[in-house]
Every structure is written in C-alpha cells, then in structure tokens.
C-alpha cells in the first residue's frame, strides 16, 4: 500500500502493508525512533503520537487508517503545549530511564492543548493510559500543573 | 505489493557516520553529538529544549574520542580534554534511569573544576582493567554500588587531572602553582589575572608526571556535590533524540523477533514456515536450538511471520512444572534438619522456651518479572571473524565475552556499543538477550536488530526467585524479642550468577540473608539464622531484581517486627524506637517519618498506616504508607512518607527521584505482581495481566532527606526494599488481616471474609498469631485462605542447626 503520511509537517511517502501499525512505520520505515514500543496492545502509552492534536496509541493504529496531521515527540516541541510540557519535565527533573517519557509528554501536551488548567482528575483521566515503570508519576503530575501555569 | 526497506533513516545514519568520521579526523568531538542529534530529529527544533545541556555520547563516539587516535589530555580512564577545551567524561557505570551519568559526572567535575554544562558524557567501553566496579569486582552496574564504589576514585581522578592542568599553566607562566586556581575548565593566575583554558595546556599537562598524592576538596567547598542540579541525561529523553539500544539503526539493517520455547529447558522440534515466508517483507526464518526467529524488512513483517509459524516444541523436563509444585518442593526443602548457618548467637531454644510469649509466622514471596519499559533488544552485525553489537547492558564485558564464546572468537573481536537503557532493575545483568541476538545474526548477511515482543519479555525473563521464610521469636516481659529464629529457603541467585565462589564456605548465599542477618536494629539476642538452598528445576533461571536480597529480607523482618509489636500490645513505631535504642541513624529516620506522616493522628474508617525502618545498601530509611481498604477488599494508596539518610548525597534531586520511584516500584509488585507457571508455561504475558501501578493510583509521596556526613549509601533500591512490608503493615492496621504472602490478595480483605477469618479474640485484637505456652492460638485465617492450600507449616520442622 502506497500512502502519503503527513508526519511532523512533511509529506512522507511510504509503501507498507495496510495493517502495519503506524508505530512501526514511524520507527522502522521513517526512522523516527523517539516513539517507543512498550506493549503493542494499547496498554502502556509509550507509542503515543498526535493525530490532528489528539493523542493516539500508534501501536494499534493501522497505517491504512492513519490520516490527518501526525506529530511525534521529535516535533511536539514546535507546539506551545509540547514545548511547555518538555520544559516543565526538565524543570522538575521528572525523567528517570526516560523510555516512557516520549509517550508521557505527548499525552500531557495533548491534555494541555484541550484543557489549559487540568485538575487532578483531568490528569488522572488523560494520563492513566501511560505506564511509567520507573514510577515518575508524582513528578509527571506536578510537571503538568507547572506547564499549565506557564 | 512491494515493501520498502527503511530508506531514509539509512541515508540519515550514513550521513551521520560520514560526518562523524570527518569531524573526528579534525579532532572536534563536540560537533558530532549535535550532528547525530540533528540528523535523527531533523524536523524538531533542538533549540526549543535545552540544546546546550550535555548530551550522552554513544560508545561509537567515545571509542574514537578515547581510543588510540585521541589527541589531547587523557590522564586516566575517565577524563579526556581536547585542545579546543572539550571535556569528555567517560562514565564507568551504565545509565538505566538511576541517574548515574549525573552522579558520576558530578564526582569528576567537582574536583576537575568544570561545569556540568561544559562536559560530554560517554559510556565506558568493555574493559575490565579500566572500569571494574570496585565493590562488585567486575565491570557491572548493580546492587546500588556505583556511587559507593566511585566516591573516592572518581573524585581523585578529577583532582589529579586538575592538578596537572594547573601545574602546566603555572609552568607556562613561570609562576607558583599556589597562585593559580581552576574554575570552569580554565586556569587563572590570581595576582596577574592571566588565564587560559584547559584546552590550551593539554599538551603540556600530558607530559607532566602524575601527582602521587592529591588533596580532595573539603565538603564545604563543593559546588556540585550535594546541590540540586538537574540531571544531565534528560534533555534528550523528552524530545525523542535519546537513543536506547532498541532505537539503534545501522545501514542495511533488518529486523528480527523471536519466540523462545514456552517450556524452560525445552527445545525446538519442527517448524512449518510456509505461511510465514509468504508474508511480504519476511526474509528469513531462523531455527535455534530453543527458539525460532523471523527476520523481516521491519519489525511488523517479522512479527506477522512469527505469528504464522506452526511450531512444534519438545517440552522437555519441565512440561508439568507448576507454581504449586514448586512451592511444595520448597516446603519440603525448608524442613531439612540442617540449614547453612548464617548467624548464631546465644541459645535460641532455651530463650524461646523460656519466653513470655512466642510468635511464629511463615512468609511467601512470588516470582517477579523485571518488566522494564524497553523490551530486550540488540543490534548485531556478525562479520568475518567477529561482531559488532549495539545494545544496552549492565555488564558490557560479560556481554562481549558471551558473544565471543558463541562466535568462537577472542573477545577483542567483538565490539560492544553500549546505549541508554530503558529500565533494567537487574534485567540487563543477564546477557541472554544479547546471546540470542548473536545466534540469530550468525545466519544473517546484514546487521539485524532483534526486538523482543512484550510477551516474550514477560515470559522469558530470569525471574526474582520464590522465597519461603519461616520465622519465630520469643518475647520477654517487656515485649521485646529475647529469641529470634529465621530460616530462609530459596534458590540461590548468587550461585547461578557468580558460581560457588560467591557463596560462603558453609553454603550460605550472602544475598539470600542480606539484612536478615544484620537488620537495622543490630543483631537480636539468641539469634539463629540459616539458609536452605533450594534447587530450582533445570532451566529455571533466577536472577537479580531491584533491591535484591534486602527486598526479600526486609519484607519478612519488618512484617514480623510489626507482628511482634502487636503481640506485645505496643504501638509499632514505639516498639521500633525501643529496638533502635543503640541505632541513632535508624532512630532518626524513624522519628522523622513518623512525625511527618502524622503517626497516631486519626484516620477515616477503613484506613490504616504501616511503618517500616530499614538499612539497605548503606542507606537508612523509614517509611509510612497509608492505605484505604474498601469493603470489597480493594486497596487504595493514600499517602507515602519517607525519611532517608543516605550519608553524603551527590545529588539530592536524584535521591528523591530514586526513593519516590523505588517505593512505587516495590508497591506495584506487592499489590499486583507474580509470575506463575502452569503445565510448564508462564501464565502472564503483557501489562494487562502483569499490571503496573498507574498515575491515578499513585498517592502523594513525600521524601524527607536527612543530610549526614556518613559515607554515601546506595539509593537506587532502598525505596523498593521498604515497600511491601510498609504496605502490608498498613493493610493490617486498616483491616486486622495480616498478609504473609505476596502479592496482596483482595479476596482476603473483603469485609465479610475478614470477619470469617479473624483469629480468636486476643489475636484479633492484637492482630498477631500468638503461641503462648499457656494458650496456643490457631491462625484460622490461614485455613480460610483457599490460595493457601499448602496449609500451616510447622515451625518445629526448622530443626537444630
Ligand atoms: S506500545 Fe502502544 S500502548 Fe504500549
Ligand atoms: S522514566 Fe523509566 S519508564 Fe518512565
């Protein structure tokens, strides 16, 4: 299947099986390895990307169904909420191993874009699909609030 | 339909490789990290996120920088300074989230007088002679040993290098060394104000003899150590540019995924691969003795192919292995008349018989999977007579040796490029995944990236072993223990990992008794601790898991001390205070944690607080966990308070990170996790059935850092060792149900189940299982526990030493 994908503001032509999850298109075909594989079954959120600003688990999204503007962690810093989240993450030393953090930042940036002042419940709802094995959750919560204030 | 190989990234990477060569030829090392970051994230604007922050280099970069061709100042294994004043710090330990790039670079930079914003950080290549961990005695990262081992040597390295650079500058100016100072990679002659960069004097400094003795800074002069400074490895981890082993891309690389034999010790019998080979993009099916792999143009093709294989296995000796059977076998082993004695003092039997009260308990802990977020992966390119390997490993030298053995070549023919690790928790002390990738790559004419599925990662981990602990104590008139008897039965991780040389001569596995032998309270009176080594079935590999021995022992000791406090009718904090009379560091953290947690203040119905105090890895820590247990038995974490004294702390921010994450990591396991076997197969496979704590389940965590001038303790695991006992003690406070088996079983905590299973009045009130000479109280809860079919285990079986 030949397909045009709009990834991080560029049109990329890929030729991949229609059922190939976007995660593997990004990582193994386009070389955008910032988006991570953790579970492959929409359980961990490591593969979270944005499609038209909404957070999507790319490990279960077939390439054939991937339309719209795709933004990955490599470019989310170009969006105001992505940049704010990244900065807050560093200000509060959120990160440990970092492997989950691409997905965390993507989920947080999407949350902040649609809700500039999230409550604890909003954070729970938006972020509970993202596992962090290093359990950086308390700092993720604080960083989202800090980014919201900025 | 045609499939495209990864075209663009290959080009990008080639570009990077070319530039790297060019850049290195010119001796400018700084440029290449930036070049590689840019190429990998061409659409991102790196200026948005702290691009000036130091970026970890890959070993590719550093072996060029640190190798033969390096021109500049290379006084030791850790420091490289180029003529244009680029400072590269080679970090002996691997970064897997614990912040060691930060910790060890801080130690060197502090004495070298360079800013952390001025350095590049590179992982050490495999080299036992240069990078052997002083406490482990091999090149490895684990056991919370890194900072404890590096504290002196790395600061001395920094100080020696600084001395040489200052001397070189002073000589050039013809002024006394004493008139010169170093700061931010510059030397300044204070009286004249003249100054020079380190880079300008590297050639002179290289010719000077090494100083015999160097003076280390007084802690009052520290600019980096002990300060809240942000981690150096994190900017790249929030913008997608950090490269983990699983992210490596090599020119022409293909992708493999693998299924190992579902039965440990089993072998591959036959594979029908017709359907798999018909999948577009599938290139090869590779048969290994105990596994089968599919190689494709990308992971997805390989995975599709793998799913379509029709595989027949020889299940082998463990076809009927079950968790229940393993427990029965452990139980039998634990009844041995004799164990290997780890500690014996006084006369346990006499003191126990003469005690006012006697308390006994049996604790069980399950197999645990490491489940790091980054599944096991490695890129291997086997070339004539050797191999290149790109991966994350905690043991670069062992990985190199294991790969060389498979290939039948000397180790120096195998190059290891070590990368950031997406969580290890002990997993990457093993080299099985590297070995398997090498076995696959032997069949491939191109570099191949093996990526494990989460399912493979869960089911083919080397698990934390089962532990069976039988423990009894006699209490004196004041309620404090006068007799203490503890038998540990477990498979030996030490013997599997180190071999007999790691064991004590009498057969004690030091790991299995660590912190049971020498708890925070000091040794108990009339104490007898022994160890029975249980032989796991052939092929069942047990391994190190975060907190190692202490995670096991502190759960037992701190649960049991809690039981003793209740048996004595005393407050658990008060009771521990008495036991800590002569242990000021333990007492201090206990008091701080209890006070900050509001110990003793009222809680809503159904809530309870549990406390523990411990020392592990040279750090002292007390924790109070507050839970709410619903009538249906669900446990909710309300609040966590920790006080920690880790001695001199290199970075307080990293310390807090590690304690927060560490205790939540331990709570995750205690609440949810166990690996079980049925008919030889692992029952869990992914995060839906091996579940992780999530943000909505995470309570506020307060970490109180008590700074002391004791030598630095390890901190990556101390939070984890505290978790399970604090949780179970809190659940007991909330419900009266003492959980002696992990993970927490909600069915035991349902309100009506609680009533049914409560022991007779006195035990119900005090919540402990009492065995007084006058009245033997039977623990009926155990009977009601269907999962506990193994029944009450007679402590009489513990026997004489
Ligand atoms: S990899 Fe997509 S949710 Fe885990
Ligand atoms: S930082 Fe390691 S998994 Fe989240």
pLDDT digits (tens, 9 = 90+) for B674-698: 999 999 999 999 999 999 999 999 9
- CA of B783, closest CA in chain A: separation in Å? 36
Q: How confident is the model at residue B67 (pLDDT cuts 50, 70, 90)?
A: low
- Between B140 and A36, the higher pLDDT residue: A36
Least confident of B8-22, B293-307, B487-501: B8-22
- Phi-psi label, residue B546: left if phi above 0, alpha if psi -120 to 50, beta otherwise: beta
pLDDT digits (tens, 9 = 90+) for B611-630: 999 999 999 999 999 999 99
* Mean pLDDT of all residues belonging to chain B: 86
Question: Is the CB–ligand 1 distance for residue A22 below 6 Å?
Answer: no
**Residues B732, B559 contacting (CB under 8 angstroms):** no
Give me the architecture of the B335-367+464-789 domain, per CATH.
Answer: 2-Layer Sandwich (3.30)
pLDDT digits (tens, 9 = 90+) for B222-235: 999 998 888 888 99
With CB atoms and an 8 Å threshold, state whether B373 touches A99: yes
Q: How confident is the model at residue B62 (pLDDT cuts 50, 70, 90)?
A: low
Q: How confident is the model at residue B316 (pLDDT cuts 50, 70, 90)?
A: very high
Residue corresponding to tokens 């003529």: B83
Domain with CATH 3.30.365.10 in chain B: 12-238, 246-316+376-451, 335-367+464-789
Mean pLDDT of B668-677: 98
- CA of A43, closest CA in chain B: separation in Å? 6
**Residues B204, B172 contacting (CB under 8 angstroms):** yes
- Between B33 and B603, the higher pLDDT residue: B603
- Between B220 and B754, the higher pLDDT residue: B220
Tell me: pLDDT of B46 over 60.
no
Q: How confident is the model at residue B779 (pLDDT cuts 50, 70, 90)?
A: very low
Tell me the C-alpha distance between B201 and B392, whole Å.
36
Q: Nearest CA to A147 among A107, A117, A126?
A: A117
Question: How far, in Å, from the CA of A137 to the mean position of ligand 2?
Answer: 9
Q: Is the ipTM of this complex over 0.85?
A: yes
pLDDT value, residue B395? 92
pLDDT value, residue B65? 58
Tell me the C-alpha distance between B422 and B451, whole Å.
13
Tell me: pLDDT of B241 over 90.
yes
Mean pLDDT of B712-724: 96
Tell me: pLDDT of B145 over 60.
yes
Question: Is the CB–ligand 1 distance for residue A38 below 6 Å?
Answer: yes
Q: Nearest CA to B653 among A90, A52, A70?
A: A90
- Does domain B246-316+376-451 match CATH 3.30.365.10? yes
Angle between helices B572-579 and B548-567 (to 10 degrees): 110
Q: Read off φ and ψ for residue B305, nearest 5 degrees.
A: -60, -45
| Set of chain B residues whose Cβ sits within 8 Å of the Cβ of A87 | 49
From the CB of residue B518, how many other CB atoms can be counted at a distance below 10 Å?
15
Tell me: pLDDT of B32 over 80.
no
Q: For the purposes of burial, counting CB atoms within 10 Å of the CB of B214, is it exposed (0-12), middle (13-18) or buried (19 or more)? A: middle
Question: How far, in Å, from the CA of A136 to the mean position of ligand 2?
Answer: 7
3-state secondary structure chain A: CEEEEEECCEEEEEECCCCCEHHHHHHHHCCCCCCCCCCCCCCCCCCEEEECCEEEEHHHCEHHHCCCEEECCCCHHHCHHHHHHHHHHHHCCCCCCCCCHHHHHHHHHHHHHHCCCCCHHHHHHHHCCCCCCCCCHHHHHHHHHHHHHC
Tell me the C-alpha distance between B606 and B24, whole Å.
65
Across the A:B interface, residue pairs with CB atoms under 8 Å apart total 238
| Set of chain A residues whose Cβ sits within 8 Å of the Cβ of B701 | 138
With CB atoms and an 8 Å threshold, state whether B50 touches A90: yes
Tell me the C-alpha distance between B121 and B79, whole Å.
10
Mean pLDDT of B374-400: 95
pLDDT value, residue B139? 87
Tell me: pLDDT of B416 over 80.
yes
DSSP B110: H
Q: Ligand 2 pocket test: which of B95, B244, B371, B373 has the largest number of ligand atoms within 8 Å of its C-beta?
A: B373
* Best to test chain A binding among B300, B671, B691 (most A CBs inside 10 Å): B300
Q: Read off φ and ψ for residue B358, nearest 5 degrees.
A: -130, 135
Tell me the C-alpha distance between B740 and B468, whole Å.
10
- CA of A64, closest CA in chain B: separation in Å? 14
**Residues B510, B490 contacting (CB under 8 angstroms):** no
Mean pLDDT of A108-126: 98
Query: Percent of chain B beyond pLDDT 70?
Result: 86
Q: How confident is the model at residue B304 (pLDDT cuts 50, 70, 90)?
A: very high
With CB atoms and an 8 Å threshold, state whether A95 touches B234: yes
- Domains observed in chain A: 2-71 (3.10.20.30), 77-149 (1.10.150.120)
pLDDT value, residue B21? 27
Tell me the C-alpha distance between B561 and B576, whole Å.
8
Tell me: pLDDT of B180 over 80.
yes
Tell me: pLDDT of B647 over 50.
yes
Tell me: pLDDT of B406 over 90.
yes
Residue with CA at minimum distance from ligand 1 atom 3: A42
Tell me: pLDDT of B213 over 80.
yes
**Residues A137, B668 contacting (CB under 8 angstroms):** no
* Residue B525 at interface with chain A, using a CB cutoff of 8 Å: no
- CA–CA distance from A92 to each of A99, B10, B701 (Å)? 17, 36, 15
Mean pLDDT of B794-801: 28
Residue corresponding to tokens 């061409």: B42
The tokens for B433 are 């995944």
pLDDT value, residue B70? 76
Q: Read off φ and ψ for residue B528, nearest 5 degrees.
A: -135, 120
CA B156 centroid distance within chain: 27
Mean pLDDT of B136-158: 88
Nearest atom of ligand 1 to the alpha carbon of A129: 3
Question: How far, in Å, from the CA of A36 to the mean position of ligand 1?
Answer: 8
| Set of chain B residues whose Cβ sits within 8 Å of the Cβ of A147 | none
With CB atoms and an 8 Å threshold, state whether B423 touches A138: no
Tell me the C-alpha distance between B599 and B603, whole Å.
10
Q: How confident is the model at residue B123 (pLDDT cuts 50, 70, 90)?
A: confident
pTM: 0.89
Q: CB-CB: which of B231, B237, B301 is closest to A101? A: B237
Nearest atom of ligand 2 to the alpha carbon of A135: 4
Tell me the C-alpha distance between B57 and B33, whole Å.
6
With CB atoms and an 8 Å threshold, state whether A97 touches B374: yes
The top-level CATH class assigned to B12-238 is: alpha beta
With CB atoms and an 8 Å threshold, state whether A16 touches B3: yes
**Residues A32, B295 contacting (CB under 8 angstroms):** no
Question: Is the CB–ligand 2 distance for residue A131 below 6 Å?
Answer: no
pLDDT digits (tens, 9 = 90+) for B550-591: 999 999 999 999 999 999 999 999 999 999 999 999 999 999
Tell me: pLDDT of B768 over 60.
no
Cis-peptide into B582, omega within 30 deg: no
pLDDT value, residue B759? 39
Tell me the C-alpha distance between B459 and B432, whole Å.
13
Torsion of CA A122, A126, A127, A130, to 10 degrees: 170
Question: How far, in Å, from the CA of A109 to the mean position of ligand 1?
Answer: 17
DSSP B773: S
What ligand has the least distance to the C-alpha of B665? 2
With CB atoms and an 8 Å threshold, state whether A99 touches B49: no
pLDDT value, residue B68? 62
pLDDT value, residue B50? 28
| Set of chain A residues whose Cβ sits within 8 Å of the Cβ of B41 | 34, 74-75
């Amino acid at each position: 299947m030949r397909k045009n994908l709009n990834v991080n503001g560029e049109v990329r032509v890929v030729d991949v099986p229609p059922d190939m999850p976007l995660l593997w298109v990004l990582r193994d075909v386009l070389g955008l390895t910032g988006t991570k594989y953790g579970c492959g079954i929409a359980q961990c959120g490591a593969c979270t990307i944005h499609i038209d600003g909404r957070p999507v688990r790319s490990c279960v999204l077939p390439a054939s169904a991937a339309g719209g503007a795709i933004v990955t962690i490599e470019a989310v810093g170009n969006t105001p909420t992505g940049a704010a989240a990244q900065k807050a993450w560093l200000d509060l030393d959120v990160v440990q191993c970092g492997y989950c953090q691409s997905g965390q930042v993507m989920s947080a940036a999407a949350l902040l874009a649609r809700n500039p002042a999230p409550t604890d419940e909003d954070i729970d709802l938006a972020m509970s699909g993202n596992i962090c094995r290093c359990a950086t959750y308390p700092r993720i919560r604080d960083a989202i609030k800090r980014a919201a204030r900025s | 339909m045609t499939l495209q190989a990864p075209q663009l990234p290959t080009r990008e990477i080639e570009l990077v490789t070319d530039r790297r060569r060019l850049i290195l030829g010119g001796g400018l090392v700084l440029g290449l990290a930036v070049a590689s970051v840019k190429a990998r994230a061409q659409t991102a604007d790196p200026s948005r996120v702290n691009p000036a922050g130091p970026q970890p280099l890959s070993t590719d970069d550093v072996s060029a920088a640190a190798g033969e061709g390096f021109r500049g100042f290379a006084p030791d294994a850790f420091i490289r300074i180029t003529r244009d004043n680029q400072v590269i710090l080679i970090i002996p330990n691997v970064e897997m989230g614990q912040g060691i790039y930060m910790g060890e670079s801080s130690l060197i930079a502090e004495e070298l007088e360079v800013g952390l914003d001025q350095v590049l950080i590179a992982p050490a290549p495999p080299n036992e002679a240069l990078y052997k961990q002083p406490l482990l005695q091999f090149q490895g990262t684990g056991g919370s040993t890194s900072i404890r081992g590096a504290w002196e040597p790395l600061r001395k390295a920094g100080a020696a290098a600084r001395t040489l650079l200052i001397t070189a500058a002073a000589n050039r100016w013809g002024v006394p060394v004493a008139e010169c100072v170093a700061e931010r990679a510059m030397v300044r002659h204070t009286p004249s104000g003249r100054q020079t960069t380190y880079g300008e004097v590297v050639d002179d400094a290289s010719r000077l003899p090494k100083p015999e003795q160097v003076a280390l800074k007084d802690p009052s002069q520290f600019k980096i150590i002990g300060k809240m400074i942000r981690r150096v490895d994190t900017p790249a981890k929030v913008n997608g540019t950090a490269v983990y082993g699983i992210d490596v891309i090599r020119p022409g690389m293909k992708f493999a995924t693998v299924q190992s034999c579902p039965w440990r010790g089993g072998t591959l019998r036959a594979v029908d691969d017709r359907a798999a080979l018909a999948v577009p993009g599938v290139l090869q099916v590779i048969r290994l003795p105990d596994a089968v792999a599919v190689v494709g143009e990308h992971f997805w093709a390989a995975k599709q192919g793998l799913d379509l294989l029709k595989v027949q296995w020889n299940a082998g000796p463990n076809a009927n292995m079950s968790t229940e059977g393993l427990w029965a076998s452990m139980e039998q082993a634990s009844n041995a008349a004799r164990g290997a004695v780890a500690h014996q003092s006084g006369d346990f039997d006499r003191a126990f018989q003469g005690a006012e009260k006697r308390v006994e308990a049996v604790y069980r802990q399950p197999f645990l999977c490491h489940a790091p977020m980054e599944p096991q992966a490695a890129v291997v390119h086997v070339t004539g007579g050797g191999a290149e390997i790109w991966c994350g490993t905690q043991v670069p030298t062992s990985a190199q040796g294991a790969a060389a053995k498979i290939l039948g070549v000397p180790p120096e023919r195998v190059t290891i490029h070590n990368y950031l690790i997406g969580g290890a928790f002990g997993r990457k002390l093993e080299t099985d995944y590297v070995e398997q990738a090498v076995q696959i790559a032997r069949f491939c004419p191109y570099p191949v990236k093996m990526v494990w599925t989460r399912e493979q990662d869960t089911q083919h981990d080397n698990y934390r072993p089962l532990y069976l602990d039988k423990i009894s104590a006699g209490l004196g008139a004041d309620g404090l223990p006068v007799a203490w008897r503890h038998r540990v039965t477990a498979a030996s991780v030490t013997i599997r990992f180190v071999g007999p040389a790691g064991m004590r001569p009498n057969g004690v596995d030091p790991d299995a008794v660590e912190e049971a032998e020498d708890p925070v309270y000091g040794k108990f009176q009339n104490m007898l601790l022994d160890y029975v080594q249980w032989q796991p079935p052939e092929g069942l590999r047990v391994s190190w898991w975060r907190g190692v021995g202490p995670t096991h022992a502190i759960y037992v000791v701190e649960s049991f001390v809690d039981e003793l406090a209740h048996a004595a009718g005393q407050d658990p904090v008060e009771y521990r205070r008495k036991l800590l009379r002569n242990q000021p560091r333990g007492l201090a953290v206990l008091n701080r944690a209890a006070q900050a947690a509001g110990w003793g203040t009222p809680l809503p119905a159904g809530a309870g607080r549990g406390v523990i105090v411990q020392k592990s890895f040279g750090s002292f820590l007390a924790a109070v966990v507050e839970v709410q247990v619903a009538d249906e038995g669900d446990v909710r974490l309300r609040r966590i308070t920790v006080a920690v004294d880790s001695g001199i702390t290199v970075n307080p921010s990293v310390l807090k990170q590690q304690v927060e994450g560490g205790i939540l990591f331990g709570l995750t396991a205690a609440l949810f996790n166990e690996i079980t076997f049925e008919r030889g197969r692992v029952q869990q496979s992914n995060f839906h059935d091996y579940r992780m704590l999530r943000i909505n389940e995470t309570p506020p965590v307060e970490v109180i850092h008590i700074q002391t001038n004791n030598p630095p303790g390890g901190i990556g695991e101390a939070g984890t060792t505290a978790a399970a006992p604090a949780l179970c003690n809190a659940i007991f406070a909330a419900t009266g149900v003492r959980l002696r088996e992990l993970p927490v079983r909600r069915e035991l905590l349902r309100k009506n189940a609680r009533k049914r299973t409560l022991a007779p009045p006195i035990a119900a009130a005090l919540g402990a299982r009492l065995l007084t000479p006058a009245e033997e109280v039977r623990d009926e809860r155990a009977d009601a526990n269907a999962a506990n079919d193994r029944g009450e285990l007679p402590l009489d079986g513990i026997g004489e030493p």
